[in-house]
Amino acid sequence: MVEIRNWSFKDLSGFLEDYGFILGHYLGSHYYYNGWIDGKQRTVQAIFSKKERDCQSLKTMKMAIEHSGIPKSYFDEWRSKGIVHKEIIG
């Protein structure tokens, strides 16, 4: 099982950027990243609030996994080994 706890805003935004997402816009503490995964346009939210800056909530991380279209296992591989699966980008 992939451990999706204790991801900071910096971790999540770094992961998204490594997978080709770019910051589209932000509204207050909510940052929206846009990218293409497996030929589909995706939008993923990361939260930079005082509460979630150092640790994204479990709900935020589950939504990030669902909305990104990137398998949970890829999140784990990126975090533990820095692996990016470039074949799904675009």
For the segment 36-50, the average pLDDT, to the nearest whole number, is 97
pLDDT reading at 4 higher than 90 = no
Q: Output the pTM of the full model.
A: 0.93
For the segment 42-63, the average pLDDT, to the nearest whole number, is 96
For the segment 27-56, the average pLDDT, to the nearest whole number, is 97
What pLDDT does 3 receive?
A: 64
pLDDT in tens, 56-73: 999 999 999 999 999 999
Dihedral, CA atoms, 85, 34, 12, 56, nearest 10 degrees? -140
